[in-house]
Amino acid sequence: MLFRFLKPSDVKSSEITPANIYHNRREFMQDGARIGAGIAAVAALGLNSPEAKAESRVLENITHNAAFSTEEKKTSYRVVSSYNNFYEFGTKKDDPVRNAHSLRPRPWTVKVDGHVDNPGDYDIDDLIRPHALQERVYRMRCVEAWSMVIPWVGIPLVEIIKKLGPTSKAKYIQFETLVDKKQMPGQNRRVIHWPYVEGLRMDEATHPLTMMAVGLYGRELPNQNGAPMRLVVPWKYGFKGIKSIVRISFVEKIPRNSWKRLAPREYGFYANVNPEVDHPRWTQANERRLGEFRRRETLMFNGYAEEVAHMYSGMNLKKNF
């Protein structure tokens, strides 16, 4: 039993099962039996820290969107919240869960600028609250060839875009993460250029699958998953899903996203999941779903080809990787 740190008596079932939506208790609390040893060790380490035990707040009035959800087995909450990439808190997978307690997700202001009718400084609650929260279970695929299935809570990004009103000059949307060395100690090291920057072409940003997430498993986002709001684009590699967003800019030119800026031969702007285009240092043809042993074949556009392939027709995806 690898998860001996978390005893069932530590958490009452009424606290871990969101009252408003159904989640299988086994998915939420799944023990280490089916999880590979390395991952289990990381997850156990994470859960042994006090902050990992403090569950985030339950979100009210969430509608489960079955039409946009996979029915594949969800990755357990403990793995989703303890095996993370979030370089602002360190470069190891278990750094974010151990260090992200210093992030303060409220109050939280988002600056909106560029080619847009309604620029300004928005309180996160004014951006999100007018819209109905949805739960969508998405397959997520990291560029490092591991994958998860995550029940996100959020709103379609297009709802925010409609409210902000981009002008015809806006061809791309660009996002930035908070820069604050006190809250994000990993920013004391220049492992990547701060702020973390990501972006989407406007048709990708307004695609109905693209979400601004504020929660997972029926609760507010744990800090290590990008509280209080982060992007979710399920047909792209995970690095497009920028966390803890403080700025949204509507721009004419293609954004200079962080990973492409750091290593342009290895990471592109589009970052569409594509089993036919390998990373220079490893294959992208298959992946390890966290919690499973046998590797899976990676699907074109992470299995969302029917919904998104039309946006890239006529584009050379080997060149535009």
Query: How would DSSP label each residue in 24-83?
Result: -HHHHH--GGGS-HHHHHHHHHHHTSHHHHSPPPBPSSEEE-GGG---SPPPPHHHHTTS
What's the closest the beta carbon of residue 168 comes to ligand MTE, in angstroms? 30
Tell me: does residue 86 bind ligand MTE (CB under 6 A). Answer: yes
Q: Which of 28, 196, 269, 270 binds ligand MTE (CB under 6 A)?
A: 196
SS3 content of the chain, % helix, strand, coil (to 5): 30, 25, 50
Tell me: does residue 85 bind ligand MTE (CB under 6 A). Answer: yes
Contacts for 168 with CB less than 8 Å, ≥ 6 apart: 115
Dist CA 288 CA 147 (whole Å):
6
Tell me: does residue 134 bind ligand MTE (CB under 6 A). Answer: no
Query: How would DSSP label each residue in 201-255?
Result: EHHHHTSTT-EEEEEETTEEPPGGGTSS-EEE-TTBBGGGS--SEEEEEEESSPP
> Which window, 16-24, 199-207, 241-249, 275-283, contacts ligand MTE (CB under 6 A)?
241-249
Q: Phi/psi at 61 (nearest 5 deg)?
A: 55, 55
Tell me: does residue 88 bind ligand MTE (CB under 6 A). Answer: yes
Peptide bond into 234 cis (omega under 30): no
What's the closest the beta carbon of residue 244 comes to ligand MTE, in angstroms? 6
What's the closest the beta carbon of residue 179 comes to Mo ion, in angstroms? 20
Q: Considering beta carbons, is residue 243 or 247 the nearer one to ligand MTE? A: 243
What is the footprint of Mo ion within residues 39-98 (CB under 5 A)?
A: 85
What's the closest the beta carbon of residue 87 comes to ligand MTE, in angstroms? 4
Tell me: does residue 243 bind ligand MTE (CB under 6 A). Answer: yes
- The single residue listed with the structure tokens 């151990």 is 98
Q: Which of 18, 234, 241, 291 binds ligand MTE (CB under 6 A)?
A: 241
What's the closest the beta carbon of residue 121 comes to ligand MTE, in angstroms? 20
What is the footprint of Mo ion within residues 150-189 (CB under 5 A)?
A: none
Contacts for 66 with CB less than 8 Å, ≥ 6 apart: none
What's the closest the beta carbon of residue 75 comes to Mo ion, in angstroms? 14
Measured on CA atoms in the order 311, 242, 119, 208, is the torsion positive or negative?
Answer: positive
Q: Which of 68, 152, 239, 301 binds Mo ion (CB under 5 A)?
A: 239
Q: Considering beta carbons, is residue 87 or 270 the nearer one to ligand MTE? A: 87
Encoded tokens for 44? 């156990």
- The single residue listed with the structure tokens 């299995």 is 303
What's the closest the beta carbon of residue 31 comes to Mo ion, in angstroms? 26
86 binds, among Mo ion, ligand MTE, none (CB under 5 to 8 A by kind): ligand MTE
Q: Which of 133, 212, 242, 251 binds ligand MTE (CB under 6 A)?
A: 242
Dist CA 39 CA 34 (whole Å):
10
Tell me: does residue 142 bind ligand MTE (CB under 6 A). Answer: yes
What's the closest the beta carbon of residue 118 comes to Mo ion, in angstroms? 32
Query: Total number of residues binding ligand MTE (CB under 6 A)?
Result: 16
- The single residue listed with the structure tokens 């990008």 is 226
Tell me: does residue 122 bind ligand MTE (CB under 6 A). Answer: no
Tell me: does residue 174 bind ligand MTE (CB under 6 A). Answer: no
Q: Between β-strands 211-216 and 197-201, what pairing exists: parallel, antiparallel or unpaired?
A: unpaired
Distance from chain centroid for Cα 225: 7
Where along the sequence are the contacts to ligand MTE (CB under 6 A)?
A: 84-88, 142, 177, 196, 225-226, 238-239, 241-244
